[in-house]
Amino acid sequence: MQKIVTNLWYDTQAEEAAEFYCSLFEDSKITKVLPYGEVGPREAGLTMLVDFELNGQKFTAINGGGDFRYTHAMSLLVNCDSQEEIDRLWAALLADGGQEIECGWLNDKYGVPWQIWPVAADALLASSDRAAANRAMQAMLGMKKIDLQGMREAYDGKIS
């Protein structure tokens, strides 16, 4: 059993969001859907809770209602192996009303903050060549969607 599970709060879109997220990642599935009963704070039959897995990691989504907003103080970080993966996830998560933020962050159409990050960028930013690492960082700070090639070129001093 996974001891710590991320819980995502929605008004009424928990099941729709879980289905959408499961469509984006391999080894993903909805494992349980529980409706509200006759007694409860929401209308009977509305999905109350959705348990799902993304790439084998467990999540819960709840239709809790009310006026709430996510912030970037906590986001779902996706470590990507390629620019193609970054591009695919970026486009899918922005579709139908998502919002680009900066430095690899975005909000999806449900308002959930995500960071779409290339694993290879870690080595650039952690390099012992601090001048090169700083150039890569400066390039990244000017990006919304991370362009790994652009970071590499800045790291190598090919662009300023």
Q: What is the pLDDT of residue 67?
A: 83
Determine the pLDDT at residue 72: 87
CB distance 156 to 141 below 8 Å = no
**One domain, residues 81 and 151:** yes
Element (H, E) at 52: strand 47-54
- Give the residue numbers spanning the domain of 146: 76-155
Confidence at residue 45, expressed as pLDDT on a 0 to 100 scale: 92
Which residues of the chain fall below pLDDT 50? none
Instruction: Please tell me the predicted confidence (pLDDT) of residue 66.
Output: 85
80 and 55: one domain? no
77 token code pair: 């970080």
CATH number at residue 48: 3.30.720.100
- Residues 6 or more apart in contact with residue 144 via CB below 8 angstroms: 100, 101, 102, 103, 104, 106
State pTM to two decimals: 0.92
Say which DSSP state 23 is in: H
Structure tokens at 44: 């009977």
Predicted local confidence at residue 160, as pLDDT:
62
